Structure 1
């Protein structure tokens, strides 16, 4: 590290026998940009790369063979993978939204979406994202497979104490928009309801303090408790009347799956992407128009007045469905297994 800026300026990498095989040099300035990467063979300088992507491409060209099936779920690796010389079967996996806040394509996804001729299959989690991609690209629909996350069955514990409360479990972060939950909950209480609210999660960048200040402003101190990270989210879901999700965006919404899987219905904003694929509106939860706090309040009231019965996971999100989906994917690319 630099004695002045305290930024990293030099890195060395050694194999298990103590032999150096790579070094990296960085600029000693605010950007701390990479200057070069030097690889070594038998203790002597071998190849030099200006960028990590050049190194990645070199590695791929030496690691892969013709017709290898390669799953790539990191957009940083798209360019070196798609530009390497071997004719591999490239399957690009999207775990989150390809869109910016203004609904244009995120720069990190452009390499993937603008070079479909180099991609064997795109693997997405939701039909809605597929529709959005087809609306702005010329990608062949047959090149896009939908395989949602799956969840294993969970045996609910019969002796769990049922509490009259809503619950939020997730990162206490700005994009989670937990303040929307507080405003909706405030309106909920003004209608004469007494159901409590519990919040579980790690604080990020001082967001918890902002929530605490809003709770004080709305005079909700006696109705809400904020807890730290929980090691047993399934138990907390199972104790609750319903869980709440008001994110501005989601990759898929694993907490929504976990909640429903133990019989706790979910009231969630219908954001890109995930909730609409997991929640069967009116059966295992409710989908709410994004950022519509009054509608969120409406469904909070409804779920207390008319609790949903027999809340369970949709068949499409089971392990058996996932196995069948992957079999179809491998059959479609003519992979022998």
Structure 2
């Protein structure tokens, strides 16, 4: 079967695509694209762009939210440069609205039937039930005709398609059946490689079971609840489906080795786990490793999770112990800003700047950065700082810091929540001689290169190649005899036992 891509891959001036992916179609799956999207969606979009630029493969971003305005989402992403050429955005319900009447498959000879119509520009109408929850979703085409009805009843769920003149067509008794039908159309070339980012879509892709579709679930956050003491502690509710379906995925990709190790300790060895961090945009290495002032930077949302008050206390203790004119600039905004500004006003040398666009560039002027979060996935702020020769000092929280920082070599790890130890680490660093600081800065710059686009896409290439090696897929178009055998096999699989 010949493989082809819909849309040309843009050339990137001055860059060759040297990373080789297995031949096939590539996609990323998430529930929706929020208007104020954050970390996970940003990581998905950046990874998709790097697949285009570094491996030369287009990427389809698949979404499943029935309320997503696809046209607006595309326009918003393009306006901020987040939807790169070669990356296309798709939605199952938007595509269903565009299916031809032949695809809808009305009964032969069925007469046209008047149906509800959408008002001007209306795409989805939600009709609540008696308790106020959604009872029916009505999907309308741009011409106002009813395209699909997704209704919840006492007997379950029914999704029905309609032709433009109101004839009833295909219907399904589960939304997963709709998703399966769509996957077959939106990813026509085989094999297909789907990177699943959303926790919401974990269950569906775990049961998809398309032999020519490879799936890789990315674990963006912690799988253990905050109160867990070890790898066998309670799980978060959102990650329980993944832990129950680890073997259903061709790959489960963690951002850190620490998290992968904890999962393996819990469930036993698995050959389908891998570690691939998110990449980040790295600047050119500093021209010199000469001394910088004892100046620290912290990039953090001003929320309780970031524990900025502890950073302020540790910084103040270090400044008092050294007697040096230390400085700490905190960039970020959030609900605790007013309270934190009051705290910072009592800490000489500390300033809260609020949100500043391009704040990562401040690392180029700083000698150290602080991270005191209660929890993180993979804090790429480390790579952004280290690439600029700024040495990280961080709490050794579960997953993240210890996977990037080698204590005493390219940064410092501090026991979680220990403000006195944080102060001692700051004090130790600012008392180092210029030669020792230069060594740490050079080591930090070298560490950061592991999070470049080229390095990370290369690791994804290894994941895709390993999938293909462990489960070879033959995509030749089956002859009639093969089709009959497969149909009989499917009937046997579905037969009651």
When the two structures are superposed, what TM-score results if normalisation uses the length of structure 2? Answer: 0.57
Q: Specify the alignment match of 2:493 in structure 1.
A: none
- What CA deviation, in whole Å up to 9, does each residue of 1:166-208 have, x standing for no partner? 1111211110001111111121122123201111112x22x11
SS of 1:235 mapped into structure 2: helix
Q: Determine which of 227, 248, 258 is the counterpart of 1:102.
A: 227
Alignment of 1:116-127 (within 5 A): 116-127=246-257
- What CA deviation, in whole Å up to 9, does each residue of 1:311-334 have, x standing for no partner? 314253344432331221111111
Q: Determine which of 135, 141, 159 is the counterpart of 1:35.
A: 135
When residues 197 and 19 of structure 1 are mapped into structure 2, their CA distance, relative to the original with a 3 A threshold, is: closer
Q: Determine which of 188, 213, 231 is the counterpart of 2:318.
A: 188
Q: Specify the alignment match of 2:150 in structure 1.
A: 48
Q: Tell me how far 1:27 sits from its aligned partner.
A: 6.2
Indicate if the aligned counterparts of 1:197 and 1:224 stay in contact, CA closer than 8 A.
Answer: yes
For 1:152 and 1:117, how far apart are their aligned partners in 2? 33
Q: Tell me how far 1:28 sits from its aligned partner.
A: 8.8
Q: Tell me how far 1:163 sits from its aligned partner.
A: 4.1
When residues 283 and 85 of structure 1 are mapped into structure 2, their CA distance, relative to the original with a 3 A threshold, is: closer
Q: Specify the alignment match of 1:211 in structure 2.
A: 340
When residues 161 and 280 of structure 1 are mapped into structure 2, their CA distance, relative to the original with a 3 A threshold, is: closer
Indicate if the aligned counterparts of 1:21 and 1:43 stay in contact, CA closer than 8 A.
Answer: no
* Higher CA-based Rg: 2
Number of aligned residue pairs: give it: 318
Indicate if the aligned counterparts of 1:58 and 1:84 stay in contact, CA closer than 8 A.
Answer: no
Q: Determine which of 419, 425, 433 is the counterpart of 1:299.
A: 425
When residues 28 and 264 of structure 1 are mapped into structure 2, their CA distance, relative to the original with a 3 A threshold, is: farther
Whether 2:372 is the aligned partner of 1:246: answer yes
Whether 2:214 is the aligned partner of 1:78: answer no
Indicate if the aligned counterparts of 2:395 and 2:414 stay in contact, CA closer than 8 A.
Answer: yes
5+ residue gaps in structure 1?
1-10
Indicate if the aligned counterparts of 2:136 and 2:149 stay in contact, CA closer than 8 A.
Answer: no
Whether 2:462 is the aligned partner of 1:328: answer yes
Q: Specify the alignment match of 1:5 in structure 2.
A: none
Indicate if the aligned counterparts of 1:243 and 1:267 stay in contact, CA closer than 8 A.
Answer: yes
Q: CA RMSD in A?
A: 3.3
> Greater shift after overlay, 34-43 or 318-327?
34-43
For 1:19 and 1:239, how far apart are their aligned partners in 2? 50
When residues 155 and 197 of structure 1 are mapped into structure 2, their CA distance, relative to the original with a 3 A threshold, is: same
Whether 2:260 is the aligned partner of 1:137: answer no
For 1:240 and 1:169, how far apart are their aligned partners in 2? 12
Q: Tell me how far 1:19 sits from its aligned partner.
A: 7.5
Q: Specify the alignment match of 1:198 in structure 2.
A: 329
Indicate if the aligned counterparts of 1:57 and 1:81 stay in contact, CA closer than 8 A.
Answer: no
Q: Specify the alignment match of 1:115 in structure 2.
A: 245
For 1:174 and 1:296, how far apart are their aligned partners in 2? 18
Indicate if the aligned counterparts of 1:19 and 1:43 stay in contact, CA closer than 8 A.
Answer: no
When residues 281 and 158 of structure 1 are mapped into structure 2, their CA distance, relative to the original with a 3 A threshold, is: same
Q: Determine which of 268, 275, 287 is the counterpart of 2:413.
A: 287
Q: Specify the alignment match of 1:4 in structure 2.
A: none
SS of 1:142 mapped into structure 2: coil
For 2:248 and 2:327, how far apart are their aligned partners in 1? 53
Indicate if the aligned counterparts of 2:363 and 2:390 stay in contact, CA closer than 8 A.
Answer: yes
- What CA deviation, in whole Å up to 9, does each residue of 1:62-98 have, x standing for no partner? 1224753221110011122223463432210111211
Q: Specify the alignment match of 2:125 in structure 1.
A: 23
Indicate if the aligned counterparts of 1:187 and 1:297 stay in contact, CA closer than 8 A.
Answer: yes
SS of 2:263 mapped into structure 1: helix
SS of 2:239 mapped into structure 1: helix
Q: Determine which of 281, 287, 296 is the counterpart of 1:166.
A: 296
SS of 1:250 mapped into structure 2: coil
For 2:130 and 2:250, how far apart are their aligned partners in 1? 41
Indicate if the aligned counterparts of 2:377 and 2:400 stay in contact, CA closer than 8 A.
Answer: yes
For 1:172 and 1:277, how far apart are their aligned partners in 2? 25
Moved over 6 A (4+): 11-19
Whether 2:404 is the aligned partner of 1:278: answer yes
For 1:39 and 1:228, how far apart are their aligned partners in 2? 42
- What CA deviation, in whole Å up to 9, does each residue of 1:19-65 have, x standing for no partner? 76643234698xx64333234689246442448xx976244211224
Q: Determine which of 90, 97, 117 is the counterpart of 2:215.
A: 90
When residues 131 and 304 of structure 1 are mapped into structure 2, their CA distance, relative to the original with a 3 A threshold, is: same
When residues 20 and 197 of structure 1 are mapped into structure 2, their CA distance, relative to the original with a 3 A threshold, is: closer
For 2:226 and 2:183, how far apart are their aligned partners in 1? 36
When the two structures are superposed, what TM-score results if normalisation uses the length of structure 1? Answer: 0.82
Alignment of 1:3-14 (within 5 A): none
Q: Tell me how far 1:100 sits from its aligned partner.
A: 1.5
Indicate if the aligned counterparts of 1:234 and 1:262 stay in contact, CA closer than 8 A.
Answer: no
